Amino acid sequence: MVASSNATTVRDLRRSNRSRALWQVFLYGPLTRQEIGVQAGLSPATVSNLMADLVAEGVIVEVGLEDSNGGRPRSLLQVNPEHGHVIGVDVGETAFLVELFDLGLGVLARHLSAADTAVLDPHDAVSHVAAGVRSVITLAGVDARSVLGVGVAVPGLVEHRQEAIVHGQSVGWEAVPVESMLRGMVDLPVLVDNGAKTLGQAEKWFGAARGTDNAIILLLGTGLGTCVISNGEVYRGATSSAGEWGHTTVVVGGRRCRCGADGCLEAYVGAEAIAARYAELGGTQYEGGPAGLEEFVGSIIGAGALDEAADEPAALVMDEVVTYLGAGLANLVNLFNPERVVVGGWLGRALSDPFLPRITEAAGRNALRLPFSGVEIVKAELGQDAVALGGATLPIARLLNAGAMAGPAAAPIRTGRRPVFTAS
């Protein structure tokens, strides 16, 4: 029993050391062995042994030499993008984006499809995702055995039990077993998380929240969500429902929200709320389907940024959006004291260029002076596929946490760089 316990301890230590080194190489590479040791807190001998193993396994590759000032140049190491593949999925309320990435998170193929029903149906959604997964694997010409996993970003609360359960009150999902449903259609590991949290993880790793330990990333669209980064980690709360900012009350007894409550922030700032308020103030009534809402709301935002006389209802609506969004941001600043707030999502991108200075000013009027004095409010850096990219980080994180001691075959299937293939 003692020998078994000792063996377990040695194996766990090796896994932990590999994990620490791989995280540094993945997020900050290419790095030298010396830099890996310093950043991961590992001895030169340990790093030398770990890198020898990881290079031999094809997880790490040498990509050149660092510039030298006369000494012996050191090799630069990075995670091998050809060691395997991951798939990221953005389950939107009107469309489904599936993308296949190499381990450098370069996109090799994508598949976009629209919902078949006006109200997001879980069976329809999972069927679209499964079809998209099969499509991107075929389009990219990769072997399914090289796929480490499928990371699925969904609207609503994700309860992480033995398998992920999704509670999407605003879209009518009640305890939907998305993970098991998808596993029944695709023979691959599946990980599920909230879309705002996957967006936040992507922006933390590669985008506007990079380099911060305390940040809030906003996902603004039909609904409103946040990813709260606290002390460098995603804050989830007791049941992983932290960050449902859109359902905080801004007006007691106010407008009815899709969730069934009154006065939620989403009922004043969400895309459907903007369209409804525009019609209420004398603008055009939106009568299109959910798929056309983004374009319609974008036109209101554009008109609201122009001379008020050109479209008075749009100007009035945008004044209200700025006011309520500023108040909502101030609440986040007062509650969490972040270094940075990142405004993302398709609605966030549409609002940022014309209105971010005004929104920041409105937040400053409502926030406490001390926490507001130390916060930056910036637009997201990643594009429209940021949520799917964040989904792909889920199997990547699992690989790194395991020290790459689990995953595709020891001899990885090598595909080389390929163009991006698109299907819709």
Residue-level pLDDT at 277: 96
What is the pLDDT tens value at each position of the chain, 424 positions in all? 444 455 568 888 999 999 999 999 999 989 999 999 999 999 999 999 999 999 999 999 998 887 766 667 788 999 999 999 999 999 988 889 999 999 999 999 999 998 877 778 899 999 999 999 999 999 999 999 999 999 999 998 999 888 899 998 888 899 999 999 999 899 999 999 999 999 999 999 999 999 999 999 999 999 999 999 999 999 998 888 888 999 999 999 999 999 899 999 999 999 999 999 999 999 999 987 777 899 999 999 999 988 766 899 999 999 999 999 999 999 999 999 999 999 999 999 999 999 999 999 999 999 999 999 999 999 999 988 999 999 999 999 999 999 988 544 333 333 333 445 455 5
Domain boundaries of the chain, sorted by first residue? 2-79, 85-199+385-408, 210-379
Residue-level pLDDT at 243: 87
pTM: 0.89
CA atoms within 13 A on the CB side of 158: 21
Residue-level pLDDT at 419: 47
**Dihedral angle sign, alpha carbons of residues 270, 195, 298, 173:** negative
Residue-level pLDDT at 9: 81
Q: b/e map of 165-204 (b: 16 or more CB within 10 Å)?
A: bbebbbbebeebbbbebbbeebebbbbbbbbbbbbbbbbb
Ramachandran class of 337: left when φ > 0, alpha when ψ lies in -120 to 50, beta otherwise: left
- Which of the following CATH numbers is that of domain 85-199+385-408: 3.20.20.70, 3.30.420.40, 3.40.50.20, 3.40.50.10540? 3.30.420.40
**Orientation of helix 312-336 relative to helix 345-366, angle to 10°:** 70
3-state secondary structure of 108: strand
Residue-level pLDDT at 16: 92
Residue-level pLDDT at 393: 96
For the 210-379 domain, the top CATH level (class) is alpha beta
Residue-level pLDDT at 195: 94
Element (H, E) at 274: helix 271-280
Per CATH, the number for 2-79 is 1.10.10.10
Task: With beta carbons less than 8 A apart as the criterion, state whether 328 and 251 touch.
Answer: no
Q: Do domains 85-199+385-408 and 210-379 have the same CATH topology?
A: yes
